[in-house]
Amino acid sequence: MSESHSAAANFPALRLRRLRRHPGLRALVRETDLSVQDLILPLFIRSGTNIRQPISSMPGQAQITVDLAAAEAVEIASLGIPAVLLFGIPSHKDATGSAAWDDAGVVQQAIHAIRAAAPSLLVMTDLCCCEYTDHGHCGIVNDRTGIMDVDNDPTLELLARQAVSHAQAGADVIAPSGMMDGMVAAIRQGLDAAGFQHIPILSYAAKYASAFYGPFREAAESTPQFGDRRSYQMDPANAQEALREVALDLADGADMLMVKPGLAYLDIVCRVKQAHPGVPLCAYHVSGEYSMLKAAAANGWLDERRTTLEILTAFRRAGADMIITYTAKDAAKWLA
């Protein structure tokens, strides 16, 4: 007895486990919280009526028409999810993506429908050309520099027009995802000139040229018809560069920042938060991450609920204030 006593005194092995024994104590010492209020659900809006077109590579997700968006919005709001992020799949595509700033376009109509049906829901819009251009690139394409590429500066004007059109339709937040240099400044100028000084910009500031976007391109019908996006999206090998991207976007007037994709880039989430602790930071849990999770769950290889909540918690732990995720509805139910 005295022997084991003195052994314990000299060698106190039990230290951290003391605080893990009781669920109540674990709750009290938990460092990171995950709430439905941190989540943003992407929606794919297509033209037509009464169509819910399932996206085969993203089980549980679908393209929906404007008329179905209202009921969808009501359900999302009733689950306590604070925000949606809209993507548009227009019926007509051309070289400049002109359907993107059509005031009667799919996204513009969906904004109206959602605001009317679920006024409490925050409506964010993804701002890019790739869903609207016939070549699938994120801007105007030409070979002015000797190779076919997206021409940066002429694209900025189109982005500003699209932003104003979204704001006019009633978008609450504009989220440019095209990775053009100077896009935040151009959009800010466009919005301000049109009287939308109050509309914040959530910039996809550090967006990587990632294979994890594969399923999204089926969902948004935005696969580039030639080449890839490596001349504008970031090289997955780079981290310091993300801090430059973020700093420039902040200088240009970004109100909130995003890192995308999420799980393979948690180091970037962490660095950006440390570099700019006062700036709201969003992580995008992208299509490929969702599809992997769904596939493993469907095979019984992973527990979907536990794995999903663990991933979402990891985003928060790394420093994300908010998370764009296709799991938002399920997560909302699990967190309720």
Q: Among all residues, which ones are annotated catalytic?
A: 207, 260
- Pick the closer one to ligand PBG by CB: 180 or 191: 180
Interface stretch with ligand PBG, choices 17-25, 49-57, 150-158, 213-221 (CB under 6 A):
213-221
* Interface with ligand PBG (CB under 6 A), residue from 44, 196, 208, 216: 216
Interface stretch with ligand PBG, choices 63-71, 91-99, 212-220, 274-282 (CB under 6 A):
212-220
- Residue whose tokens read 């829901």: 121
232 binds ligand PBG (CB under 6 A): no
What CA–CA distance (Å, rounded) separates 98 from 96?
5
Using Cβ positions, the residue closest to ligand PBG within the complex turns out to be 216
Interface stretch with ligand PBG, choices 28-36, 123-131, 153-161, 313-321 (CB under 6 A):
123-131
61 binds ligand PBG (CB under 6 A): no
Residue 12 and residue 31 in contact, taking contact as beta carbons nearer than 8 Å: no
Q: End-to-end CA distance of the chain, in Å? A: 49
- Pick the closer one to ligand PBG by CB: 30 or 230: 230
287 binds ligand PBG (CB under 6 A): yes
What CA–CA distance (Å, rounded) separates 195 from 200?
13
149-150 and 141-142: which strand pairing? Answer: antiparallel
* Interface with ligand PBG (CB under 6 A), residue from 45, 123, 138, 322: 138
Interface stretch with ligand PBG, choices 27-35, 209-217, 273-281, 328-336 (CB under 6 A):
209-217
Residue 304 and residue 20 in contact, taking contact as beta carbons nearer than 8 Å: no
- Pick the closer one to ligand PBG by CB: 74 or 209: 209
User: In whole angstroms, how close is the CB of 290 to ligand PBG at the nearest point?
Assistant: 7
Letters for 70-109 (x = contact with ligand PBG by CB under 6 A, - = none) are ----------------------------------------
286 binds ligand PBG (CB under 6 A): yes
177 binds ligand PBG (CB under 6 A): yes
User: What would the two tokens of residue 100 be?
Assistant: 């993107």
| Encoded amino acid at 79, one letter | L
* Interface with ligand PBG (CB under 6 A), residue from 40, 113, 128, 312: 128
User: What would the two tokens of residue 17 be?
Assistant: 């486990």
Handedness of CA 304, 307, 313, 319 (dihedral sign): negative
User: In whole angstroms, how close is the CB of 213 to ligand PBG at the nearest point?
Assistant: 4
Q: Which of 201, 222, 315, 297 is nearest to 260 (CA)?
A: 315
Residue 134 and residue 93 in contact, taking contact as beta carbons nearer than 8 Å: yes
Binding interface with ligand PBG (CB under 6 A): 126, 128, 130, 138, 177-178, 213, 216-217, 229, 286-287
